[in-house]
Every structure is written in structure tokens, then in C-alpha cells.
Amino acid sequence: MLALDALSFLASALLLRGIGYAPTHRGGGAADRPGLLASIREGVRCLWGHPVLRTMTVAGGLQSFRTG
């Protein structure tokens, strides 16, 4: 059983290695990127607009406070 698990990890690593990476934007650096607060605002807006992710995030956060 352990050998099968090891083989599955090896297969996964080989498949992940085959994924190519092609950057879509070659910007000039940090000046082209939005600020930290703008990035956080965008992420929260996206999360709040998705009902399933919003529910899972709220439930997970409440569970963390309860068990922590």
C-alpha cells in the first residue's frame, strides 16, 4: 500500500513538471502592481461575491475561533 502511495506521488510530480509557465504580463516592476490595500479589497470583493466560497470562509473562520 505504501508503494502505491509513493508511485502516485511520483506520477503527480512528473505530471506537474510537465506544466509549462508562460508569463502573460511583462511589466516594468513594482510600479505596475496595485498596492496591498487594493489587492486585499479586490480579493474580499471577489470572495464576497461568490456565495459558496463566502459561506465556507465564514464557517471556517467561526470554527477556528471556536476551537482555537
Q: Output the pTM of the full model.
A: 0.44
What are the residue boundaries of the structural domains of the chain, listed by start? 36-68
| DSSP-derived secondary structure for 23-58 | -S----SGGGSPPHHHHHHHHHHHHHH-HHHHHHHH
pLDDT band at 65 (very low <50, low <70, confident <90, very high): confident
User: What pLDDT does 60 receive?
Assistant: 93
pLDDT of 56: 94
The pLDDT tens digits of the residues spanning 1-46 come to 899 999 999 999 999 988 887 767 666 666 667 788 999 999 999 9
